[in-house]
């Protein structure tokens, strides 16, 4: 569906170890290591180990596909790959970041616990998604004058944001979720 609707090429970067109630960790295809979560602390603590023997073949096959796609993202990576050199984890991360900068799309799975995997997801956001400084300035409309304005990701610019969701919480009241384009917001700020 990602290919059809977004025209993107999804690339698995992790494989789950187990699923649903038997989920216990992930295989990181970049480092080719397994990260196993400790059930007693809901996954806040993890341990890096070798890939389980029954998953080695699948991990190698998925990694090879990932490396082939990553190698297409940049001439230097393509050259290195075609000359038979192994792409380092840093090369792979750079290639994935280039790919996601063009089409920012991610695949995730529902984890047994809200805590399990959170560090891995946050690391992936930092490693692969474009920073606000990597994208061009945004063109918007001034809410009062209705004139076109240009906003860059800079704290010294006037505050600009887009509300994309409003929700009602029985304990807190109305919540507005927004994407900040320039300046910064603080908790409890009213508009």
What does the pLDDT look like over 145-189, one tens digit per residue? 999 999 998 888 888 888 889 999 888 888 888 888 888 887 777
Q: Does residue 187 lie in a domain region? A: no
Look at the pTM and tell me if it is higher than 0.85. Answer: no
What does the pLDDT look like over 97-133, one tens digit per residue? 888 765 443 333 344 444 555 666 677 777 777 777 8
Q: Does residue 108 lie in a domain region? A: yes
Whether residues 11 and 37 fall in one domain: yes
Q: Does residue 167 lie in a domain region? A: yes
The mean pLDDT value for 81-94 works out to 92
Q: Which residues pair with 123 in a beta bridge?
A: none
Q: How many domains does the chain have?
A: 2
Whether residues 19 and 57 fall in one domain: yes
CATH code assigned at 29: 3.40.50.300
Distances (CA, A) of 163 to 22, 105, 132, 159, 167: 38, 20, 17, 13, 11
Please give the residue range of the domain that contains residue 147. Answer: 134-182
Q: Is 157 exposed, middle or buried (0-12, 13-18, 19+ CB in 10 A)?
A: middle
Q: Does residue 188 lie in a domain region? A: no
Q: Does residue 191 lie in a domain region? A: no
Whether residues 36 and 101 fall in one domain: yes
Q: Tell me the torsion sign for CA atoms 114, 120, 124, 125.
A: positive
Whether residues 93 and 114 fall in one domain: yes
């Amino acid at each position: 569906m990602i290919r059809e609707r977004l025209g993107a090429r999804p690339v698995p970067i992790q494989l789950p170890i187990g699923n649903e109630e038997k989920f216990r960790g992930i295989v990181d295809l970049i480092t080719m290591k397994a990260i196993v979560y400790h059930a007693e602390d809901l996954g806040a603590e993890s341990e890096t180990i070798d890939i389980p023997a029954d998953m080695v073949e699948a991990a190698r096959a998925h990694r090879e596909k990932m490396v082939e796609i990553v190698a297409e993202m940049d001439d230097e990576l393509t050259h290195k790959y075609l000359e038979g050199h192994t792409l380092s984890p840093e090369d792979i991360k750079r290639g994935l970041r280039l790919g996601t900068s063009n089409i920012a799309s991610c695949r995730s799975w529902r984890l047994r616990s809200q805590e399990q995997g959170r560090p891995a997801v946050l690391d992936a956001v930092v490693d692969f998604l474009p920073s606000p400084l990597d994208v061009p300035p945004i063109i918007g409309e001034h809410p009062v004058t209705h004139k076109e304005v240009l906003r860059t990701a800079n704290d010294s610019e006037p505050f600009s944001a887009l509300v994309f969701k409003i929700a009602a919480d029985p304990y807190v009241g109305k919540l507005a979720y927004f994407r900040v384009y320039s300046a910064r917001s603080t908790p409890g700020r009213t508009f």
